[in-house]
Amino acid sequence: MLFVNDVTIRAGGRTLFDQVSFRLNEGQRVALAGRNGQGKSTLFRALTGSVGVDGGKIELDKGRRVGYLPQEIEAQGDERTAVEVVLEALGEVKELEAEVERLIELMCERPDDQQVIERYGRAQARFEELGGYDADARARTIMDGLGFSQARMDTKVAELSGGWLMRVHLARLLLERPDLLLLDEPTNHL
């Protein structure tokens, strides 16, 4: 699923990884251990493609998705609720929901417009295919499994402690259902 071939990563004038190679297969669970400042987070960011490598190659099987939970998450001034942040994982579902609503209004204005009716049918089918009708329930089920009360799900993320904020972002990742899940010190703040 993920192949790391002869990867070299340098930062701050020092070599963190020199020609490292490994492979992660589907279903495998792997831990990365090391002292602080040794490059574990940098390696994770390289695996997600958010930072480049100085040599070698990182390849992910076509169609596979990586989810990454960083060790530090900021929420200052964020007025969204915890469940709203989690639901952002389903961006296409939310976009389709808005499109379906817009097309319904358009069909009311132009009930005989075949193009609008066909666009509505395609958008509605894709919305159903992605599980749009039960998205909120799935998000809340995942959050419940992580210990959220109903009240805490509807709390603004700016008001949550670091531990609860970490759980919000973990729930978001779990809702996305990535093929590879990278957790960078997920018990921080818990």
DSSP element (H, E) containing 20 = strand 14-24
What's the average model confidence in pLDDT over 117-145?
90
How many percent of the chain have pLDDT more than 70? 98
- The tokens for 54 are 């100085």
Same-domain status, 12 and 60:
yes
Same-domain status, 106 and 33:
no
pLDDT band at 75, cuts 50/70/90?
Answer: confident
Cβ-contact 19, 58 below 8 angstroms? no
Same-domain status, 110 and 178:
yes
pLDDT digits (tens, 9 = 90+) for 16-70: 999 999 999 999 999 988 888 889 999 999 999 999 999 999 999 998 989 999 9
Same-domain status, 108 and 141:
yes
Q: List the beta bridge partners of residue 180.
A: 66
**∠ CA 67-175-134 to the nearest 5 degrees?**
155
Same-domain status, 120 and 167:
yes
Same-domain status, 88 and 141:
yes
Residue 57 inside a domain? The answer is: yes
Which of 185, 168, 180 is closest to 67 using CA atoms?
A: 180
Residue 189 inside a domain? The answer is: no
pTM over 0.95: no
- In this prediction, residue 58 carries a pLDDT of 96
